[in-house]
Every structure is written in C-alpha cells, then in structure tokens.
Amino acid sequence: MKVLVVDYGMGNLRSVAKAVERVAPHAQVVVSDQAQALRDADRVIIPGQGAMHDCMREFMARGLHDALLKVAAEKPFLGICVGMQMLFDHSEEGDTPGLGILPGRVRRFPADMFDAAGVPLKVPHMGWNEVLPVKPHPLWQGIAEQGTAGERFYFVHSYYCDPADQAAVAARTVYGLPFTCAVAQANIAAIQFHPEKSAAAGLRLLANFIDWQP
Amino acid sequence: MLAKRIIPCLDVNAGRVVKGINFLELRDAGDPVEVARRYDEQGADEITFLDITASSDERDIILHIVEQVANQVFIPLTVGGGVRTVADVRRLLNAGADKVSMNSAALSNPDLVAEASGKVGNQCIVVAIDAKRSADDSRWEVFSHGGRKNTGLDAVEWAKRVASLGAGEILLTSMDRDGTKSGFDLALTRAIADAVSIPVIASGGVGSLAHLADGVQQGRADAVLAASIFHYGEHTVREAKEFMRARGIEVRL
C-alpha cells in the first residue's frame, strides 16, 4: 500500500511520515509534492501547519489542485490541522479562499473567552483537549466511543472549522465554545488536532486511517 | 477541557542531558533520547530541549538528537538554544521539532520573532524570557546570553512586545529561583500570564509537586516546566499529574 504525505513546503511532514511508518510498517510511505504521486497513491494525507494563505499559495503553486479534487472524490483521504481547514470554502485567516470541497468557513477563536473560573482563555488553543465523537466512524475504533468522556489529543491552532453541513461533523471539542474538531464524509476525513503528536491515541487513529475501507 | 501541560526540560550540552544550578555547575543526567523516551512513557505532555552547548562546532549535534527523538517519541518537541536566524528555525523544524524557542536573538533583533512567525506560523515560535527581580525589587528585568547580560528591559513589557510580534508562547524562567528548588516566582508568573493572551510556561525553581500545582493555580501558567525533580527520579511525570489532579487541576492522565 502506498501512503502519500503531501509535501507543499508547509508543516512538519517528517513527524507525520514517521508516525505512519510506525503504525503501518508494511506500507510504502511517500513524501512528495508531485501531482502524479497523488494519482499513484492508495491513501493520501495532507498535513498542514502555518498560515492558511501561505499553505494555499504553496499548494496551488505546485499545481496540486485538480489532483487533490480527484483524490477527495475517490481515495481514503485524511486532512490534518490546516490540511483540514483548506477543505472548506473560506478562512478568516488572511481572508483566504479554500478548496471548497466541504461547505463552511474557518473562523478565529474570539478574543473574549473565559474558563469556568473566569480566567481568560489563551489563543492559540495549545495542548491536550478532549475529542468528543458525535457519530460513529472507523477512525474512532478503540479510541473514544460515542457518548463517553473524550480521549485527549494534541491541538495547536488559532482558527477552527465551522462546517455548513452538520451531517459531516464527526467530533467536537470545547474551548471557550464547542467547535468541530473532526469531519467525515464518504472517503474524506479531516481532523484539527495532530495525531502524529498525540502519543498512543494519535498512533491508533493513524492506524485506523490505514485500515479504513470507506 | 484543555489540560494544563507538564513539560520535562532537558538541558543538552555536547550531546548529553545536564542540569545546572543558577545557570552554572553542570551535572550529567543521561542520554537525551533515553531520557525523552522515559518521559514519554510517563505521560509527559511535551518535551523541551535547551541546547546549552557553548561551542558552535557542536551546535549541529542537537539536530541529530532531535531527529532521533522525533523518530521514536510522538509528542510535541520544543527546541531552543543558539537559534539566531529563520534558517536555524527551519532546520530544527525539519529535523522534527514542533516549536523553536528563541531568547538572546529575539532581544538583539525583535524583528526575528515577526519574521520567523510569519514564515512558519506563530504556533511554532516560543520566546524564552529569563527574568530576575531588580535590585530595588520594583520589577523584573530581562537577561540575555544565558543569564549573563542584563538588558534592562522590563519583563512584563517585553512579554507583551513579543506576543504582539507574533510569538505563539512564552517560556518564562525565573533566574532567582532556577535550580533552587524553592518554587516558581509566582508573582512574576502571574504578572506575565495576565499580561499576554498567549500561553505561558512557568519555569525555574520547582522542588516539589506542590510547586507545579501552585504555578498553575496561583501563577496562572498554562504549562509548567521542570527538570531536576524528574531527572533524578524524585518524582515521575505521572505522580506529578496525579498530584495536580488531586488539587483540582485538569490534566491528561
């Protein structure tokens, strides 16, 4: 099996590739920025870190747009962090248009959020927070069952996805407000947190993605 | 709810983990990869490496260490020490660091903070602040060059400045407390945590588990960093988390 980690000059691809190698020792993990690699892969992961407009610019500059639309229509696909945000119509970060694969917008956390004790919440939302699945999905296998207390994953972001289609929402997290931290629709899955930095739970999620047969 | 983080800190000198007292008197504390793996197993939320290597010849050793650790440890890694340019930041991120911490370079060239965060995202840029109470006890002053040089800057003002320049996090060390095991400078921690809207990591002076909890509850730190209480087996990270949970603090266990 060929697993492609899309390299478009942004983010910590190495960690993602190493984590996939760990959970899928028999898979061939490819890191590439070539459209042909997207066509050749059996599964595709788009990581992402940094500013949305830089991510989109680098992504488009490599001519990956059409190949990605095709992948999103037919192959198991996982977007991580900005790789999730890019799937939507628009981001408030730099007033940037996204790929429009999923309807919805990416918004900044409001400045005036407080915890239960009235202490202001910091942005970026940085650290380990609970992921609460709202619908069953193979990605959650053995991690967090619906309706129970959520497993913790590592987050680091200042913007969050606000999908227009609630049926696509796969999990939520609460930070000042409840926000969508995972979406899943047909062969597309995308998560705001970083499985490659989320210890055992993160590795389990990546293993689930490798086993997933949408 | 977001958990408060516990971050073991590994000072690395010429490829070994060391621990100093008041920035001096180094003691050996083991192989960085082994130490990092042990903390990951204990449930550390992140690991911070500070490269305190004096010689620039040995500077690249940290890249190999980061690579080796990142291959085996799947939690966030922060690396600092000797970072002077955006190219340094990129090299560390490419080696497997998730965040890069800068200190003296940010003081001599504040634009570096803006430039680096603009290029790699503010979530990757940590500004480390070494602060010491002023002689007249009226404020805290920022020191550079491993605590050797008083910049005369006010620590609270400097923290606000780096936050506005695009730092994603502040690693705040009390030089008065570092290595003393007498607890964080809680007034300093609270002053900085309340002054900025980005996360603050408290550092310097942890000698007991109660100190960690105090850093969060009184100092309002988002994360607490410690070295010697973990390095020499006094406490595990898990014990620290169990203690903090018993004090009512949200932790990842």
For residues B212 and B241, the answer to whether their CB atoms sit within 8 Å is no
For residue A16, which of A4, A28, A1, A8 has the smallest C-alpha distance? Answer: A4
Band of pLDDT at residue A106, cut at 50, 70 and 90: very high
* B chain contacts of residue A14, beta-carbon cutoff 8 Å: 70, 94-96
A154 and B76 in contact by Cβ < 8 A?
yes
Q: B27 falls in which pLDDT band (50, 70, 90)?
A: confident
Distances (CA, A) of A88 to A191, A202, B3, B76, B146: 13, 23, 28, 27, 45
Of the candidates B196, B186, B126, which has an alpha carbon nearest to the alpha carbon of residue B158? B196
- Per DSSP, A167 falls in state G
- pLDDT at residue B119, as a whole number: 84
Of A20-29, B18-27, B53-62, give the range with the top mean pLDDT. A20-29
pLDDT of B21 > 60? The answer is no
Tokens 């095991």, located at residue: B181
Q: Which residues of A are the active-site residues?
A: 81, 194, 196
3-state SS, B112-134, equals HHHHHHHHHCHHHEEEEEEEEEC
Is pLDDT above 90 for A13?
Answer: no
Q: What is the pLDDT of residue B60?
A: 84
Q: In chain B, what residues touch A203 (CB-CB under 8 Å)? A: 74
- Indicate whether A146 pLDDT > 60: no
Mean pLDDT of all residues belonging to chain B: 92
**All residues at 6 or more sequence positions from B190 whose CB lies less than 8 Å from its CB, including other chains:** B218, B219, B220
Instruction: Give the SS3 label for residue A147.
Output: coil
A65 close contact with B: CB closer than 8 A? no
Q: How many residues does chain B have?
A: 253
Mean pLDDT on A13-22: 92
How many of the other CB atoms lie within 10 Å of CB of B29? 19
pLDDT band at B20 (very low <50, low <70, confident <90, very high): low
Poorest-pLDDT segment among A47-61, B4-18, B91-105, B215-229: A47-61
- How far is the C-alpha of A28 from the C-alpha of B216, rounded, in Å? 44
- For residue A26, what pLDDT is reported? 94
pLDDT of residue B23: 53
Distance CA A132, CA A182 (A): 9
- CB under 8 Å to B179, separation ≥6 — which residues? B19, B20, B21, B22, B23, B204, B205, B228
Active-site residue, B130 included: yes
A97 touching B (Cβ < 8 Å): no
Residue with tokens 């008041």: B22
Q: In this model, does residue A32 exceed pLDDT 90?
A: yes
In this model, does residue A9 exceed pLDDT 80?
no
- In chain B, % of residues over pLDDT 90: 75
Least confident of A53-62, A171-180, B154-163, B185-194: A53-62
Q: How far apart are CA B240 and CA B44, in angstroms?
A: 10
Higher-pLDDT residue of A190, A9? A190
The percent of residues above 70 in pLDDT, for chain A, comes to 96
Q: Which residue has the higher pLDDT, A128 or B122?
A: A128
Give the tokens for residue B200: 């603050």
pTM of the model: 0.95
Span of A11-15, A78-82, A145-149, B154-158 with lowest mean pLDDT: A145-149
Who wins on pLDDT, A12 or A212?
A212
Ordered by where they begin, the domains of chain A are: 2-211 (3.40.50.880)
Tokens of B146: 């491993």
State whether residue B45 sits within 8 Å of chain A by CB: yes
Question: Residue B238: pLDDT band by 50, 70, 90 thresholds?
Answer: very high
Average pLDDT, chain A: 92
* Whether the Cβ atoms of residue B173 and residue B130 lie closer than 8 Å to each other: yes
Per-residue pLDDT of B60-98, as tens digits, reads 889 999 999 999 999 999 999 989 999 999 999 989 999
Q: How far apart are CA B128 and CA B40, in angstroms?
A: 23
The rounded distance, in Å, linking the Cα atoms of A68 and A134 is 27
Contact B71 A18 (CB under 8 A): yes
> Where residue B38 falls among pLDDT bands split at 50, 70, 90?
very high
| Segment B7-14 mean pLDDT | 91
What pLDDT is stored for residue A11 in this prediction? 66
Instruction: Tell me what pLDDT residue B53 has.
Output: 79
For every residue of A61-107, DSSP letters joined together read HTT-HHHHHHHHHHS-EEEETHHHHTTSSEETTTTEE---SSSEEEE
Residue A192 near residue A156, CB atoms below 8 Å: no
Residue A145: what pLDDT? 61
Q: Which residue has the higher pLDDT, B19 or B82?
A: B82
φ/ψ (deg, to 5) at A173: -135, 150
Q: How many CB atoms sit inside 10 A of residue B235's CB? A: 18
Residue B24 has pLDDT above 60, yes or no: no
Q: How far apart are CA B90 and CA B87, in angstroms?
A: 5
Quick one: DSSP state of residue B141? E
Residues of A in contact with B1 (CB under 8 A): 115-116, 129-130, 174
